[in-house]
């Protein structure tokens, strides 16, 4: 069950919703947008592995299409509806780098900001930056894989060499080479299991890059004071509560990331990559010295959104959520005329403009006039219905719409009077239910809906 973080009473406030390893689940993206509205988030942060992942030969094309037709459109719409919320995201090791230009295009258009190796101002006090690369693993893609530290370098070079052999080997050699590869990996301390698709894996596109994760993090730390910076690093720190995987609880995190945290003591680090770590350890948080590190885990394949919600000014209080509830839909309330012609246009307009799935419709003949008090009708029963709608636990956006329309039989006044009454009604409702946002809508002679007031 999801609970709102209402108890934070801070003067300064910057609410962040952090999630990771969504792997292209549209349901999870939608849940993320909803939760950010419910929590009045200032920023949404997504720590990598953002595109679909499944076994197919043309995964590059699948991901390209997803960015073009889904991801960009979703964030464009979200930005339009919520211009004050900033989205920060980056690729993870399961997102093909070759499609980066499409993401850069979305960033240029202002739909989101890209994190990998970049520093952004979160507000005038804090910065945020990111890092996508992970240490060597027996996974399908090698795009975002790098040697971890100088110490592990020689060994992981050997590992890579063995992997290369594996990919091009003849069938009878495979078993032997797999064993050798595994042995090298386990010597690195990362994992003792091999995935069946390893042998069809792809080699990195940037093998001539000589830097290590250690080097990259050092240069990132120079760009922004770690004490005032949130580091979003896809790989979790090695040998912690945050980097364990099935089936044997191996640690797959990065040694360089761990050393970086111990050395620089950043204010906060956000991770992912080890989807099941939270499930295994029961911990989404690890405190190393003064640094809080987070990995909310991922259950994207079960349609669950794992996220952590916190106020940057109060890191002691963090809310770790698993979201199934919002999948059931988000509601708003509308006070509308009973006229059959205005129901669908109003519902459609609200759904399109306010990320809502369902509109609780409370109707009366000439509702705007009734609420404005023009016909001295008692509005007690209307208020009772409003409260029933608002009390939907955690699923209501806390927005009430008041609509009036042209050619109204229940309230036969001219258009200008209607609009005046809608404003009066909105004002009155704001006084009666001050915590809700009230929005006045006008439906024209062509059944076009427009917003005329907001309280
Ligand atoms: Zn992932
Ligand atoms: Zn990952």
According to the model, what pLDDT value does residue 194 have?
A: 47
What is residue 395's predicted lDDT score, i.e. its pLDDT? 74
Average pLDDT over residues 278-282: 92
pLDDT bin (cut points 50, 70, 90) of residue 327 is low
**In angstroms, what is the span from residue 130 Cα to ligand 1's centroid?**
16
Q: Is the pLDDT confidence value at 307 over 80?
A: yes
Mean pLDDT in residue range 416-426: 96
CA of 174 to the centre of ligand 1 (A): 27
Higher pLDDT, 143 or 454: 454
Model confidence pLDDT, tens digit, residues 68-92: 999 999 999 999 989 999 999 999 9
pLDDT band at 6 (very low <50, low <70, confident <90, very high): very low
Q: Is the pLDDT score of 190 beyond 80?
A: no
Instruction: Please compute the mean of the pLDDT values over residues 302-323 and round it to a whole number.
Output: 89
- 127 versus 171: the higher-pLDDT residue is 127
Whole-number Cα distances in Å, 453 to 165, 421, 437: 67, 11, 11
Shortest-distance ligand to the CA of residue 25: 1
What order do you get walking across the sheet with 86-89 strand by strand? 113-114, 86-89, 43-46, 15-19, 305-311, 314-323
pLDDT-derived band of residue 267, with 50, 70 and 90 as boundaries? very high
pLDDT for the residue 443: 97
Least confident segment among 197-201, 250-254, 361-365: 197-201
Q: Is 318 or 126 the better-scoring residue by pLDDT? A: 126
Query: What is the distance in A from the centroid of ligand 1 to the CA of 302?
Result: 14
Which range among 9-18, 225-234, 302-311 shows the weakest confidence by mean pLDDT?
9-18
Model pLDDT, residue 66: 97
Instruction: Tell me if 15-137+206-326 shares its fold with 329-454.
Output: no
pTM score, two decimals?
Answer: 0.71
User: Domains of the chain: which residue ranges?
Assistant: 15-137+206-326, 150-200, 329-454
Ligand of minimum distance to the alpha carbon of 139: 2
Query: What is the distance, to the nearest Å, from the Cα of residue 446 to the centroid of all Cα atoms in its chain?
Result: 38
C-alpha 77 to ligand 1 mean position (Å): 25
Measure 102 CA to ligand 2 centroid, in angstroms: 20
Where are the strands (E) in 304-454, listed by range?
305-311, 314-323, 331-337, 358-364, 396-405, 437-443, 449-454
Supply the pLDDT for residue 141: 65
The pLDDT value given to residue 189: 57
CATH for 15-137+206-326 is: 3.60.21.10
pLDDT on residue 193: 47
Q: For the chain, give the number of residues.
A: 455
On the question of pLDDT at 285 being above 90, the answer is: yes
Q: Closest ligand to 234 CA?
A: 2
| Res. 249: pLDDT tops 90 | no
What average pLDDT does the segment 303-324 reach?
Answer: 88
Share above pLDDT 90 across residues of the chain, in percent, rounded to a whole number: 62
pLDDT of 154 > 80? The answer is no
Q: What is the pLDDT of residues 31-61, one digit of tens each?
A: 899 888 888 899 999 999 999 987 777 888 9
The predicted pLDDT at position 358 comes to: 92
pLDDT of residue 204: 41
Q: What are the CA-CA distances from residue 212 to residues 138, 185, 217 (Å)? A: 18, 17, 9
Q: What's the 3-state SS for 292-337?
A: EEECCCCEHHHCEEEEEEEECCEEEEEEEEEECHHHHCCEEEEEEE
- What's the CATH fold of domain 329-454? Beta-carbonic Anhydrase; Chain A (3.40.1050)
């Amino acid at each position: 069950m999801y609970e709102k973080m209402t108890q934070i009473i801070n003067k300064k406030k910057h609410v962040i919703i952090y999630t990771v390893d969504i792997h292209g689940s549209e349901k999870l993206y939608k849940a993320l947008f909803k939760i950010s509205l419910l929590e009045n988030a200032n920023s949404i942060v997504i720590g990598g592995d953002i595109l679909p992942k499944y076994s197919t030969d043309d995964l590059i094309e699948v991901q390209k299409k997803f960015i073009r037709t889904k991801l960009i459109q979703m964030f464009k719409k979200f930005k339009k509806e919520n211009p004050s919320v900033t989205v920060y995201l980056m690729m993870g090791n399961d997102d093909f780098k070759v499609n980066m230009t499409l993401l850069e295009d979305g960033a240029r258009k202002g739909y989101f900001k890209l994190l990998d190796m970049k520093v952004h101002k979160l507000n005038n006090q804090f910065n945020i930056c990111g890092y996508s690369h992970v240490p060597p693993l027996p996974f399908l893609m090698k795009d975002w894989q790098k040697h971890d530290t100088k110490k592990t370098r020689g060994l992981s070079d050997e590992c890579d060499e063995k992997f290369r052999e594996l990919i091009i080997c003849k069938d009878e050699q495979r078993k032997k080479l797999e064993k050798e590869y595994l042995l090298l990996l386990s010597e690195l301390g990362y994992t003792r299991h091999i995935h069946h698709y390893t042998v069809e894996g792809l080699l990195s596109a940037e093998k001539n890059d000589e830097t290590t994760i250690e080097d990259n993090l050092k240069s990132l730390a120079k760009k922004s004071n770690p004490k005032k910076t949130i580091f979003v690093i896809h790989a979790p720190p090695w040998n912690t509560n945050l980097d364990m995987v099935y089936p044997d609880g191996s640690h797959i995190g990065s040694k360089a990331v761990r050393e970086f945290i111990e050395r620089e003591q950043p204010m906060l680090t956000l991770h992912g990559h080890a989807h099941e770590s939270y499930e295994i350890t029961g911990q989404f948080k690890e405190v190393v010295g003064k640094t809080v590190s987070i990995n909310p885990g991922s259950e994207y394949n079960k349609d669950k959104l794992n996220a952590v919600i916190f106020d940057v000014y109060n890191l002691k209080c963090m809310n770790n959520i698993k979201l199934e509830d919002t999948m059931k839909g988000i509601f708003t309330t509308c006070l509308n005329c009973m006229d059959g012609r205005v129901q669908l246009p109003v519902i459609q307009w609200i759904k399109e403009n306010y990320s809502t799935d369902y509109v609780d419709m409370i109707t009366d003949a000439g509702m705007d006039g009734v609420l404005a008090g023009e016909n001295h009708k008692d509005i007690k029963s209307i208020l009772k219905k409003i409260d029933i709608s608002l009390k939907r636990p955690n699923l209501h956006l806390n927005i009430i719409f008041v609509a009036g329309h042209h050619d109204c039989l229940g309230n036969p006044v001219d258009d200008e009077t209607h609009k005046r009454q809608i404003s009066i009604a909105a004002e009155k409702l704001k006084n009666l239910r001050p915590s809700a946002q009230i929005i006045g809508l006008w439906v024209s002679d062509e059944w076009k809906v427009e917003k005329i007031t907001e309280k």
